[in-house]
Amino acid sequence: MPELRDLYQELIIDHGRRPRNFGALADANHKAEGFNPLCGDRITLFVKTRDGVIEDVRFEGTGCAISTASASLMSEALKGKTEAQAQALFDGFHALVTGQGAAEEAPLGKLEVLAGVAEFPARVKCATLAWHTLLAALRDQSVPVTTERDEQEGAEPPPAADG
Ligand code: ZN
């Protein structure tokens, strides 16, 4: 469906250029930093929760269009969600961008525009950086998140999965 694909691309470009919820959040009660050294993406994520519900999410940072668009779309998707729902969204989103297919029990809505990332394994970390940083923030993890924990420098890309 090339038309849907074009629409997705436009949304990604739009969020990449004009990220929503960009900037610091003064009354955040959770905060974490993330870094994707493969691409150079950096993010500082601010989360305000109340009684287990995410009331507000904002972020700062610099990165490629995919990482910025993903953080922007994530910030929109999370407002009003419980922490458990946020974790479910993370799981569904991670499955989507790593090509494992979207889980039907966790509708992803607009986040599905990033499904095409699954075709570009090098960009998966760009798309998931904000989400890993979110989980770190909710857990009050003070050590900055890096997407390179279990990667080897200069490692061969994994062979493409067939089917
Ligand atoms: Zn990137």
Read off the pLDDT of residues 41-68 as tens digits, 9 standing for 90 and up. Answer: 999 999 999 999 999 999 999 999 999 9
Residue 154 lies in a domain: no
Closest CA to 64 of 50, 48, 43: 43
15 C-alpha to ligand 1 centroid (Å): 14
Residue 73 contacts residue 81 (beta carbons within 8 Å): no
38 C-alpha to ligand 1 centroid (Å): 8
Strand order from edge to edge, sheet including 53-62: 53-62, 41-50, 30-36, 145-146
CATH number at residue 22: 3.90.1010.10
Residue 30: which domain range?
2-146
CB atoms within 10 A of CB 124: 21
Total domains in the fold of the chain: 1
Q: State the pLDDT confidence band at 149, using cuts at 50, 70 and 90.
A: low
Residue 117 lies in a domain: yes
Residue 152 lies in a domain: no
* Average pLDDT, integer, range 21-48: 97
Residue 155 lies in a domain: no
157 C-alpha to ligand 1 centroid (Å): 17
Q: Is the pLDDT of residue 33 over 50?
A: yes
Residues, CB-to-ion distance under 5 Å, ligand 1: 39, 41, 64, 67, 126
Residue 108 lies in a domain: yes
pTM above threshold 0.95: no
Residue 101 lies in a domain: yes
74 C-alpha to ligand 1 centroid (Å): 15
Weakest-pLDDT range from 9-13, 44-48, 144-148, 152-156: 152-156
52 C-alpha to ligand 1 centroid (Å): 30
Res 7: pLDDT:
84
13 C-alpha to ligand 1 centroid (Å): 13
* Average pLDDT, integer, range 116-123: 92
147 C-alpha to ligand 1 centroid (Å): 11
Residue 162 lies in a domain: no
* Average pLDDT, integer, range 121-130: 95
The mean of the pLDDT values for the chain is 89
